[in-house]
Structure 1
Amino acid sequence: MRTPDQPVLRDIVLIGGGHSHVGVLKRFAMKPVPGVRLTLICRDTHTPYSGMLPGYVAGHYSYDDVHIDLSRLAEFAGARFYRAEARGIDRDSKRVICKGRPDVPYDILSINIGSSPRTNEVEGASQYAVPVKPITGFNNRWLALLSRIENHEGPLTVGVVGAGAGGVELTLAMQYRLKNELEQRGRDSGQLHFHLFDAAEEILPTHNAKVREVFRKTLSERGVKLHLGSPVEKVGEGLLRTAAGETLQTDEVLWVTRAGGPAWLEETGLALDEGLFLRVRDTLQAENDDSVFAAGDIANVVNHPREKAGVFAVRQGPPLAENLKRMALGKAPNDFHPQKKWLALISTGDKYAVASRGDMQLDGAMVWRWKDWIDRRFMEKFTDLLPMDEGAALPDTSAAQNPEEASQAISAVAMRCGGCGAKVGSTVLSRALGELRPIDRDDIIIGLHAPDDAAVLRVPPGKAVVHTVDFFRAFIDDPYTFGRVAANHSLGDVFAMGAEAQSATAVATVPYGIESKVEDVVYQMMSGAVDVLNEAGCALVGGHTGEGRELALGFAVNGLIDPDKVMSKGGLRAGDVLILTKPIGTGTLFAAHARLAAKGRWIDSALASMVQSNKKAADCLRSFGSKACTDVTGFGLLGHLVEMTRPSGVDAELDLSAIPILPGAEETAAAGILSSLQPANIRLRRGIRDQDKWVKHPRYPLIFDPQTAGGLLASVSADKAEDCVRELKALGYPHTAIIGRVLPQDDSGPIEPITLRE
């Protein structure tokens, strides 16, 4: 996570990871604006480049060839990446309403979310057709369709609705790929039938007659049958019917037409056209809101209407970035003038393409190679990323909108007080925490519901108190997700001992800044934490928040336990097997993330693991008689296992091949990208017998990898282990595995308690 030297004065929020916004991120990375912070809200971590999508469908490109990694690009740009779905905009309070997380405030907003299928206008289309848009979700739909088609026996009929450039190009790409797939499996590709439908009388209606003729000939030679001049009026299970009464029996129907904006835009009050696209001025600002911009498919530039094509979204990126910067600095935005003619390079699936621009047409294999070169050059801009210089350290208040903001900004980077003078102001805290709703518990006598100098808790008869504390710096730039991980991590020790979480007291450090920005960071972070604490039945009873250079959060957690049912590190018994409930690898992955060397989907998998509670796993392990359990955190798997063997008076055997590993962790570890805590953890290698034999094993570095919010490492008797693993998987821990066994301690004592095997 990059910590800016400048206090944040203006928040630019980007909804969607479309072609225009990736251009904005790259431009802000190359030339950041002091005091201006970018936040990207996008449900998908990898966004496809539409120009290469047909080539991916045809099998010429891999997934990574055609997808831009938004996680990595945002990290490169110093932007916050919120993995979330926008569901609305409250323009009065200037907040983006998101699904499953707190609202996100903005000063300037930009929308680049593409378009969505309007299948609800045709009977049965929503239920039985596969929409191509939004293209961010197309890959899963295509892979599912590919699997169904590949396993289909007998004749296969595919209907494609939409004979514009996108529909024609996709039809030919699919036909090429599926024909090859069938032939490679020794099946008759002649049983594959494609039909292309459109209400228009011509294919590719926005292109010249010479281009249309090339594609008519190509479609005919490939055996694709055209159905033009009559709209599709019904899609059913296994059939498609046009308004002219023509009916076709189909196995699959793809929808490549009738796209529009999402329905939630209607609730924003922003000016929309009949297709629910945002009406924007030449500056790319919404017609009726100067602080809202839009670009790409979702935008209708009213003075310059153009077809929905990726080329315009790409071209809008630079002027959009410039106008966002100008608005943040209080300057008037400039007009955007799109080209009147544009070059379209449309492929035919078989490494052959057609160039179309105005009345010009050119086709051939050379055109495809030209297109391939252009597309790869474009993708290189967003994949060949090197860390940028941090920029100026002196305060810059150019983005301040009034003297009070400028004064707060200067104060924020001036010499700060220590001691209690470093606390975040009570007004800021009361506003930030006022909307939080921690749960109430009957055994909390004094807590946040009646704040005092300290919390007062009741300990029920027959219960003992478990007390633990954890605290660490933010490793991602989304404070809400960070809050969730921090709370989950802090609860881990309580659950590992078999206790019930009772209360938590927070300690947080928040970067210096103007009050409104500090307030939102505190609110976002504590919202995430309270979501996790509430789910665990743990009451937030108080805390302390101070200023610092970096965002950090920790909790002191109290738990309650029956003293006769404690799971401890010293409970290992010879003959038991070792179970691990979550995969390891968070240390190396986030070290790689900071160096722009981790794929976004790897980080997604790591975060999904880190926000998963250990509570159900601990309950399950206890029900199967486990007496020894710990959560795997900073000391790594080996360190925590050594901690368990010593008080238990036993040895242990680890099966390296059985240890569950997070996606990408072996790759980043092999590249030598390791956590800063790794060298300290590696000192424990002296506890491994014949450790020189294992140093070159690809999984060897990972047993020292420090974990954040890791899983539980526990022992269970051998006769119950398989049933325990099955139950844990059923409870939502799919990577649970038996990773070794507990051995009697040999004559050498506790010096080398760990044996490794493959």
Structure 2
Amino acid sequence: MMTPPLPLTRDLVLVGGGHTHALLLRKWGMAPVAGVRLTLINPGPTAPYSGMLPGHVAGHYDRADLDIDLVRLARFAGARLILDAATGIDRDAQEVHVAGRAPVGYDLASVDVGITSDMPVLPGFSDHCVPAKPLGPFARRWAEFVQQVETKGTPARVAIIGAGVAGVELALAMAHRLRAAGVAAPEVTLVEAAAPLALLRPKAQTLLLDRLIDAGIALRDHSRITHVTEGALHLADGAPIPFDFCVGTAGTRPHPWIAGTGLELTEGFINVGPDLHSLSDPRIYAVGDCAHLTHAPRPKAGVFAVREAPILYHNLKADLTGQSRRRPYDPQRDYLKLISLGGKAALVEKGPVTLAAQWLWRLKNKIDQDFMEKFRTLPAMETPPLPRVTAAGVREAVTSRPPLCGGCGAKVGPATLAGALARLPETGRKDLASRPGDDAAILDLGAGRFQVLTTDHLRAVLPDPWRMAQITALHALGDIWAMGAAPQVALASLTLPAMRDEMQARTLSEITEAASAIFRAAGADLAGGHTTQGAELSLGFTVTGICDRPPIELSGARSGDALILTRALGSGTLLAAEMRGLAAGADMAALYATLVRSQADAAALLAPLAHAMTDVTGFGLAGHALAMAQASGVGMTFNPTAFAIYAGAEALAASGLRSSLFAANRDHALPSMEGFEDNTRTALLFDPQTCGGFLAAVPAEAAEGAVNQLQAKGHMARKIGMVENAPAGIIRAAR
């Protein structure tokens, strides 16, 4: 008897992708708790490792070397990843509020959002300086400044507010990098309101202050800044300090939204006990720099966040299962401090030992690289064994085919579908004006009005009901827009994994709210639908549209028309790679941002021009172009170098990675193609697209203007070829 999938009974939400949560996700991937839906909320697809920031600022590391890829990590952990910023927690409703979407419900939540070194109380700071934390925006601004210095020879005066360990490390790193950029004597100034390096022992202070002198870095201690203007720090006493780049490292501040949670706080940081849960709400944990350890206060340092991870994992598991007791976190009183010295040298302080040497940089580099390697090379997960007895061909099918993709990559191949449609009897309805294979059914309402009807259903490409509802709704609308119709009404067809009633209500609410917003923006209404429970999340929508003129069909392309494609290719490759943990998080974030963008404006621009139009979806560009060419009785030429490709897709395709629908698409279209080289760009012509662009045949004289207008609206539109008077259904490569 087959074992049914286990139901989901608890929602665990991780707010923030800090070091503790990153390690927790890695541990969860190796030892998950069955029945838990794990969610990670973070503004971006990566989480930077702050321990390597000085090395990056000095030029020793590339920016990507610092990033923990949360997309890959979430996939490994089986977690839903929400790429938006948390804005608050409603503890009564047990919901995390998130910018740009519905609240996310939780049974247990953990907060690891780090800190900021912004200085809102210092007049002019926000306008003219950048805080060192969050790390991402600072690193970007620093890279832009160094590039200007290198390419334009702009002045290189740098001011650092705060002469603690972080400020001194950055000052030494900046001076080193600016010298490497060709600045013989960079002007770097540290400004400190009190005594510098107050948390270090005297010997370490002396060594670091000597390093500042050797590097030509000015130190203004016991100097209070009153305000900042463009290019200058103004002091309570003394002349202003000029700068071309200013960074703030003084103090650590919690994110402002935490104050609105009603949790017990100390100076804005969440008070937690030995087991790391909030003193005022046992359903909420807090770790890393945003937490205050009431039982053992410690400075904000990454070493504590790292060592909290196994305790957090154990205690969350204890709460979720009820099978064990929470464990206390006992932070060490002293810890190894490894401080970068600009060049490839470092200072160490631990107990009575203080040393500075180049070999210590190698030690620091090894520690940092070992930490990052935990996320660069995730443990390989074993494939579940096949049953002892299987039907003939099962083993070969499992081992020889790629894993089934989500989105349009999970569809049945074009040849199989065409064979099934060919068996349909001819319709006896006089109001049915479409043919099998058209984008949508066309009903002739009389008096020059038509209704188009389409349905589409997607296997989830990511375990986020909100985002999947947006993607699926826009995907279904593509057929309506491609025929030049105005969306009218939609019905949902949803399959949800088994879960407890409260989680089911949360999930349905997310789906219906997200989909309704998409359809409303398109001028339609979500009028209801049908739900069922199954092994995994899948969503579908049936949509109708109204035309006050004959709809745009596949059969209207004319010789001499130009072919316009409104979106890039490669979504199927990226989605297949992400499913296997091979796609870069930044590339996936960029793809998702495109997939949830409406193409209503593109359709409105093209519909009055197009002789034929279709949306490029599961059968790939080649398959959908072939269908248009065959229906129109024309041939086509493609310029293989003309179409845009999503970031990351070409390299993945070149490595041999393919969607599960690729082979069927290639076998269907390739016999009708001539002159195409066997290379990566040709392979992407067979790539199944989810929320793909429109392929439109428009008069040649209108093509350039249409492409320019589409690009001005932010679409990756390109003129990719021409319609020609050639054998019907033949696609040639342009020479």
Tell me whether 1:304 sits opposite 2:288 in the alignment: no
1:199 to 193, 201, 220: 193
Query: Which structure 2 residue ranges, 5 or more long, are not aligned?
Result: 387-442
Alignment check: 8 A CA contact 1:76 1:387 kept = no
Tell me whether 1:635 sits opposite 2:613 in the alignment: no
Instruction: Tell me which residue corresponds to 1:588.
Output: 573
Instruction: Tell me which residue corresponds to 1:750.
Output: 728
Per-residue CA distance 1:142-189 (angstroms, 9 max, x = gap): 3333344445545431101011111111122222122212x2xxxx43
CA drift at 1:685: 4.0
Instruction: Tell me which residue corresponds to 1:39.
Output: 39
Distance 1:479 1:460 in 2: 39
CA drift at 1:689: 4.2
Per-residue CA distance 1:228-270 (angstroms, 9 max, x = gap): 0122221111110123344112222111123311221111110
1:710 to 670, 684, 692: 692
Report SS of the residue matched to 1:207. coil
CA drift at 1:742: 1.5
Tell me which moved more, 333-342 or 150-159: 150-159
Q: Match of 2:686, as an amino acid?
A: F
Tell me whether 1:572 sits opposite 2:557 in the alignment: yes
Instruction: Tell me which residue corresponds to 1:160.
Output: 160
Report SS of the residue matched to 1:300. strand
Tell me whether 1:189 sits opposite 2:187 in the alignment: no
CA drift at 1:349: 2.1
CA drift at 1:121: 1.4
CA drift at 1:523: 1.6
Report SS of the residue matched to 2:311. helix
Instruction: Tell me which residue corresponds to 1:424.
Output: none
Tell me which moved more, 307-316 or 637-646: 307-316
CA drift at 1:318: 1.4
Shift in alpha-carbon separation, 1:4–1:737, aligned structure 2, 3 A: farther
Instruction: Tell me which residue corresponds to 1:611.
Output: 596
Distance 2:192 2:30 in 1: 44
Alignment check: 8 A CA contact 1:201 1:229 kept = yes
Distance 2:556 2:117 in 1: 58
Tell me whether 1:251 sits opposite 2:233 in the alignment: no
CA drift at 1:367: 0.6
Tell me which moved more, 131-140 or 586-595: 131-140
Distance 1:354 1:724 in 2: 61
2:482 to 477, 496, 507: 496
Distance 1:484 1:559 in 2: 18
Q: Match of 1:500, as an amino acid?
A: A
Distance 2:350 2:385 in 1: 45
Instruction: Tell me which residue corresponds to 1:57.
Output: 57
Instruction: Tell me which residue corresponds to 1:283.
Output: 275
Per-residue CA distance 1:392-431 (angstroms, 9 max, x = gap): 99xxxxxxxxxxxxxxxxxxxxxxxxxxxxxxxxxxxxxx
CA drift at 1:574: 1.6
Q: Match of 2:677, as an amino acid?
A: W
CA drift at 1:358: 2.7
Report SS of the residue matched to 1:223. coil
Distance 1:607 1:244 in 2: 52
Tell me whether 1:317 sits opposite 2:309 in the alignment: yes
Tell me which moved more, 461-470 or 633-642: 461-470
Instruction: Tell me which residue corresponds to 2:23.
Output: 23
Alignment of 1:283-432 (within 5 A): 283-330=275-322, 331-389=324-382
Distance 1:299 1:281 in 2: 10
2:659 to 636, 658, 675: 675
2:463 to 474, 477, 490: 477
Distance 1:284 1:459 in 2: 65
Tell me whether 1:87 sits opposite 2:74 in the alignment: no
Report SS of the residue matched to 2:17. coil
Tell me whether 1:547 sits opposite 2:547 in the alignment: no
Distance 1:716 1:179 in 2: 56
Q: Match of 1:309, as an amino acid?
A: A
Identity %: 40
Q: Match of 2:497, as an amino acid?
A: P
Distance 1:675 1:139 in 2: 35
Q: TM-score when scaled to structure 2?
A: 0.89
Report SS of the residue matched to 1:699. helix
Alignment check: 8 A CA contact 1:41 1:81 kept = yes
CA drift at 1:567: 2.1
Q: Match of 1:567, as an amino acid?
A: I
Tell me which moved more, 477-486 or 50-59: 50-59
CA drift at 1:633: 0.1
Tell me which moved more, 103-112 or 146-155: 146-155
Instruction: Tell me which residue corresponds to 1:433.
Output: none
CA drift at 1:655: 1.1
Q: Match of 1:249, as an amino acid?
A: P
Q: Match of 1:58, as an amino acid?
A: A
Aligned residues: 676
Tell me whether 1:48 sits opposite 2:48 in the alignment: yes
Q: Match of 2:527, as an amino acid?
A: V
Instruction: Tell me which residue corresponds to 2:519.
Output: 533
Per-residue CA distance 1:715-742 (angstroms, 9 max, x = gap): 2222221111111112221x21111111
Instruction: Tell me which residue corresponds to 1:463.
Output: 449
2:221 to 209, 221, 228: 228
Instruction: Tell me which residue corresponds to 2:425.
Output: none
Tell me whether 1:237 sits opposite 2:230 in the alignment: yes
Q: Match of 1:199, as an amino acid?
A: A
CA drift at 1:319: 1.0
Report SS of the residue matched to 2:266. coil
Alignment check: 8 A CA contact 1:23 1:321 kept = no
Distance 1:473 1:524 in 2: 17
Shift in alpha-carbon separation, 1:15–1:522, aligned structure 2, 3 A: same
Shift in alpha-carbon separation, 1:647–1:240, aligned structure 2, 3 A: same
Alignment check: 8 A CA contact 2:155 2:244 kept = no
Shift in alpha-carbon separation, 1:53–1:248, aligned structure 2, 3 A: same
Report SS of the residue matched to 1:13. strand
CA drift at 1:622: 2.4
Query: Which structure 1 residue ranges, 5 or more long, are not aligned?
Result: 394-456
Distance 1:541 1:356 in 2: 66
CA drift at 1:390: 7.4
Tell me which moved more, 155-164 or 337-346: 155-164
Distance 1:21 1:146 in 2: 32
Per-residue CA distance 1:22-48 (angstroms, 9 max, x = gap): 011111111111222211011111111
CA RMSD of aligned residues (A): 2.1
Report SS of the residue matched to 1:658. coil
Q: Match of 1:326, as an amino acid?
A: A
Report SS of the residue matched to 1:32. coil
Instruction: Tell me which residue corresponds to 2:436.
Output: none
Tell me which moved more, 167-176 or 673-682: 167-176
Report SS of the residue matched to 1:352. strand
Per-residue CA distance 1:84-114 (angstroms, 9 max, x = gap): 1111111011110111111111111100001
Tell me whether 1:659 sits opposite 2:665 in the alignment: no
Per-residue CA distance 1:646-670 (angstroms, 9 max, x = gap): 1212111111111110011112112
Distance 1:545 1:281 in 2: 43
